[in-house]
């Protein structure tokens, strides 16, 4: 067990139960977690006819591959078999991701969503009595770690225009894609990411009193819907602002600094609001590595 590496490592399984993988041998103890640093960086390049070399267009992070080394050390072989059965249950094929939750030495927590991708074997050649080392191959489609406590901030729209609080970027090394919850009434709403200028525009549309519309900017979603029944409201976004669904995000510290700020903030304009009108932004603080 690497007692000086982490304070704790837990796994929130598909069944909703949390299993300690650090100490206690139920089902196993942590030996090592490899692949938890910065994920593979791939440069995006472009080449034109007759061009020497390439033009660099930025980067993308590849999905993360990790190996989780665990150790079974039970008082007898029968108990070891029970632990192997438990590990097979926990790390068997899943539809929903496993949530690997690490508590660092400074007591901060970082989590990553992952799946088993490969062979989880219990090789007899690695067994010594009731002891055995086991390697769990893990794959994280989103390679970034995040603070599991989601940031949620509400801004009243009773008086327009209005600007939200500053959401600090200090210490954040990766971007996140926010989700907005807009409660009406409000007409001609425009949400502008103040540091960059990206905007989601509902000009010409009224969000009725008592309705909440959700703007979900996460990859794989990129949509607008009515919260009460999931009815699509994507049609309400102006054509010229749809493109910002692919760029509007919570900037990390380094990227925010390139705009000479240390925060994310949203400016909102509109009309026809009341005391019931509000704007909620939810996002995770994200990190490149554990």
DSSP string covering the chain, please?
Answer: --TTT-SEEEEE-TTS-EEE-SSS-SS-EEEEEES-SSPPEEEEEE--TT-SS-EEEEEEEPPEEEEEEEEEE-SSHHHHHHHHHHHHHHTS--SSPEEEEEE-TTS-EEEEEEEE-S-----GGGEETTEEEEEEEEEESS--EE-SS-EEEEEE-SSSSEEPPPEE-TT--B-B--EEEEEBSEEEEEEEETTT--EEE-TT-EE-BT-EEEEE-STTT-EEEETTT--B-GGGS-GGGGGGGGT--B--HHHHHTTT-SEE-EEEEEES--TT-EEEEEE--EES--
- pTM to 2 decimal places: 0.92
Q: Give me the tens of pLDDT residue by residue for the chain, a chain 290 residues long.
A: 444 688 899 999 999 999 998 776 678 999 999 999 999 999 999 999 999 999 999 999 999 999 999 999 999 999 999 999 999 999 999 999 999 999 999 999 999 999 999 999 999 988 899 999 999 999 999 999 999 999 999 999 999 999 999 999 999 999 999 999 999 999 999 999 999 999 999 999 999 999 999 999 999 999 999 999 999 999 999 999 999 999 999 999 999 999 999 999 999 999 999 999 999 999 999 999 99
């Amino acid at each position: 067990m690497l007692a000086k590496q982490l304070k704790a490592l837990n796994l929130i399984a598909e069944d909703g139960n949390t299993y300690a993988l650090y100490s206690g041998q139920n089902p196993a103890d942590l030996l090592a977690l490899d692949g938890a640093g910065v994920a593979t960086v791939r440069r995006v390049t472009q080449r034109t006819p007759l061009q020497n070399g390439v033009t660099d267009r930025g980067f993308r992070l590849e999905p993360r591959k990790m190996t989780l080394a665990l150790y079974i050390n039970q008082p007898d072989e029968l108990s070891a078999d029970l632990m192997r059965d438990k590990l097979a249950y926990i790390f068997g094929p899943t539809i929903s991701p496993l949530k690997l939750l690490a508590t660092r030495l400074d007591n901060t927590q970082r989590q990553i969503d992952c799946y088993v991708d490969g062979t989880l074997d219990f090789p007899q050649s690695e067994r010594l009595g009731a002891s055995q080392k086991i390697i769990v191959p893990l794959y994280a489609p989103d390679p970034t770690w995040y603070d599991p406590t989601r940031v949620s901030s509400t801004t009243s729209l009773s008086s327009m225009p209005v600007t939200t609080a500053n959401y600090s970027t200090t210490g954040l090394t990766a971007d996140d894609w926010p989700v907005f919850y807009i409660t009406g009434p409000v007409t001609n709403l425009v949400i502008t990411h103040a540091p960059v200028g990206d905007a989601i525009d509902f000009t010409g549309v009224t969000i009725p009193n008592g309705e909440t519309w959700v703007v979900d900017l996460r990859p794989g979603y990129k949509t607008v819907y009515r919260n009460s029944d999931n009815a699509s409201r994507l049609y309400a976004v102006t054509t010229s602002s749809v493109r910002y669904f692919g760029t509007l995000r919570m900037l990390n510290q380094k990227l925010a600094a390139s705009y000479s700020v240390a925060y994310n903030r949203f400016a909102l304009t509109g009309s026809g609001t009341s005391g019931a009108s509000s704007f909620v932004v939810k996002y995770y603080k994200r990190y490149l590595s554990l």
